Chain A
Amino acid sequence: MEKKAVLEIKGYSKVYGEGKKAADNVTLTVESGDIYGFIGHNGAGKSTTIRAVVGVLDFTEGEILIDGHSVKTEPIECKKITAYIPDNPDLYDNLTGIQYLNFIADVFGINSSKRSEEIEKYAGLFEITDSLGDLVSSYSHGMKQKLAIISALIHEPKLIVMDEPFVGLDPKASYILKQIMHEMCEKGTAIFFSTHVLETAEKLCNKVAIIKNGKIIDSGTMEDIVGNQSLEEVFLEVHDEK
């Protein structure tokens, strides 16, 4: 499979009101088939970067391209091929699970048979089929997370952006999500996600970037970054050094 840049972040910076830099000249590229881990301490700038990538947050400098489209000038084109799973999904509580998924399918123009097939498949995998008729307000955090994941997968995006996707998931759901991530990247989907679980990142990702105080302090393939150490050791080393 030929590798192609799906997400390109070039010199991205985000400055807050009082001159505080949440992201400083961030540059990285996620290619098709990549599972790209984005790690850093709390407040390092991971979520800010992710929210800029998915077009939610405005940014000060730089360029973000998704499949060659600029997030700034062609946001709709970018969003059509991107799926975003936030760390704490704020879904519509007064919709039922199935109504919410149907809404997302409508937005992405997925035909009836395809949407039923996809929803059935993923809801079955995450074992929430029986709850799809219930209101989202009655869901636990983990169930909401599963619903958000399903909504991200049903439109077969080229890029999946996830902010701490494993938080709140039970062990089985975490395992299934990892399997799905592998399957998706085999099909050529690019995955970019933030996590604090370094063990998972090390096993799952082929590329990784470490961010500290808004700056990328190390990035590359997992082998290059880790060498013969563990990702945890590398992270602590570079975090303390730089």
Chain B
Amino acid sequence: MKNKNLILLKALLDSTSQWNVLRHCKDKKKKGRIIGAYAGLAILYLMLMAYSLFSCIGYGKIGLTDIVPALCAMTISVIALFFTFFRTNGYLFKFKEYDMLMSLPFDAKTVAGCKFLYMYLKLLPWYLSISVAMLIGYEMYVTPSAVTWLIWMALTFVLPIIPMLAAAFLGYIITRISAGFRKTNIVQTVLSFIVVILAFSSRFFIESMIKEDKVEETLESVYESVNKTTAIYLPARWFQLAVTDTDIISILLLTVISVALFEILFILVGRSYREINSKLKNHAASKKFSMTVLKSRNVLNAIAFKEFRRMTGSTIYVTNASMGELMALVMGIAVLFVDIDTILYKVTEGAPVTKEMLYPAMALIAYFCVGMVSTTVMSPSLEGKNYWIVKSLPISGKVLYQGKMLFNMYKTVPFALFAILCLCISSKAPLLTTVLSLILGVCLCGFSTTWGCVCGIKHMRLDWENEVEVIKQGAGVAIYMFPNMIVTMLLVVVAVVLGRKIDQNIIVGIMIVIAAALAVLFYKKAMKLAEKQA
């Protein structure tokens, strides 16, 4: 008899793999969409590889190549930690086929363990992209032996396990705590946000701990940070020693501890797995309803409210869709209390940037947070099997997507305006710049909403098994997010550089026109797509 872990893992992979759909689906359009999504994903991996390779070349050029293995280990670990943390809730708990799997002769440890391994395999291409690119970059300067190549590649498969287990453990603790409350989702969301805020602030905390001297050069500063972090984070240290010194003990430590931690965690999770899942389902069943006066809304607001409830009803959705708003809020409050020049110095690792130079980029900085994710990119697919409800309602496709867009505007605009206002107040920006930045903020939110909607409708996928597939892995999300973020970062640089030569308000004005034009353009495109769907 085959190993049950393998049977389940194979079924999990097949059941969520678009490859399987591609093989068996007869709909040519759907096949085309899947191929397009694969191509998009391949481009993303290539972009990540290019970024990783060029960063290695940068270190190589200034003679800091020896840091590359540790940097690779740290990058993969951080990505593994965050990617897993945001996925744990949807993958390990509250998944749709829980009843089916738990009624089969699998023990809880097998189910939870396989779900974790499934998550690991889904994330593996990201880790491999970074690792392979960095190995190539390392090879360009060090010319390592074949054994080093072998160890590097083999340990790439082991390296993400410890941070992933740490993230899964955090997710497990949060779910376990929140399962004891009636408002499970709210508790879970609040705890998740707390963990994320602590994780972000710990970066500055660690940096301030380990940075004793001012370091002028940014790359050297990163070199220092990585070296000192590696001394604290032992798995990265073991990876480095294994690669650079072919240290067998480090290889064994990394491998054995990863496997042992996996076993320990899933024995622990397995023991309370059914209890937690039962509690999560209990709350949904135990609420008692009493009739009160019902508030009426117009159609658009009713759809927007439905979207709000959909978002807040899912921890994974709300943590992913609201992270940008939270960042905008924290940033806004932070700049009111901490001198903006101090923050700039920290963030830019000592680059000569002053707050005055940032005036034309205030709205872009806020947008970088709130525009990170748009709900409109996910909400069409998130209708999933409930799609029949909106389709059978006496509303046109246009109205449906207008409602979805309205919700994203409600969600983003107040936070964007708050962050921009705080940035402007803190940096003592002139009144005209402040007003123009606020207008630009609204236009950018409009752009994010409409561009997201176009991506969401074009790459709509209703046949998902787990909402993580839409929220974290959807083709639409990737296509929306990456170019959007890269262009925003580039625009911040362009605005700051141009702002030294041209009147800053003119730059903001030009950006208003462009953002508004793009918002209108994508709104029209979204409406056309919505009409086609009807």
Contacts and interface: CB of A to CB of B under 8 A. Distances in A.
Interface of A: 16-18, 20, 22, 51, 54-58, 75-76, 79-80, 82, 84, 86, 89-96, 99, 103-104, 106-109, 133-135, 137
Contacts of B102: 54-56
Interface string B1-41: 11010011011001111101100110000000000000000
Interface stretch (B225-233, B234-242, B275-283, B423-431): B275-283
Chain B contact residues: helix, strand, loop or mixed: helix
Interface stretch (B71-79, B91-99, B125-133, B202-210): B91-99
A37 B17 CA distance: 39
Contacts of A104: 104
B7 A95 contact: no
Contact of A89 (B18, B20, B100, B285): B100
Classify chain B: how many residues form its interface, as a range: 35 or more
Given A18-B286, A107-B4, A95 B15 contact: yes
B107 interface: yes
A72 to B, nearest CB: 9
Contacts of B339: none
* Shortest 4 CB-CB contacts between residues of A and residues of B: A92-B15, A16-B286, A58-B278, A79-B105
Contacts of B4: 107
B217 interface: no
Nearest to A110: B1
B104 A86 contact: no
B187 to A, nearest CB: 13
A103 B103 contact: no
Contact of B100 (A17, A86, A133): A86
Contact of A108 (B18, B20, B105, B282): B105
B263 interface: no
A135 B21 contact: yes
Chain A contact residues: helix, strand, loop or mixed: loop
A18 B465 contact: no
Contact of A79 (B10, B21, B103): B103
Given A80-B105, A137-B463, A16 B285 contact: yes
Interface of B: 1-2, 4, 7-8, 10-11, 14-18, 20-21, 24-25, 96-100, 102-108, 182, 274-275, 277-279, 281-283, 285-286, 288, 463, 465
Nearest to B2: A106
Contacts of A18: 182, 286, 288
B395 to A, nearest CB: 25
A182 to B, nearest CB: 24
Nearest to B102: A56
B38 to A, nearest CB: 15
Residue of B7, B100, B108, B288 with most partner-chain A CB within 10 A: B100
A80 B514 CA distance: 64
Given A94-B16, A94-B465, A95-B20, A17 B11 contact: no
Nearest to A95: B15
Contact of A94 (B7, B15, B106): B15
Nearest to A51: B99
Nearest to B281: A57
A76 B20 contact: no
Given A17-B286, A20-B286, A80-B105, A94 B463 contact: yes
A104 B105 CA distance: 10
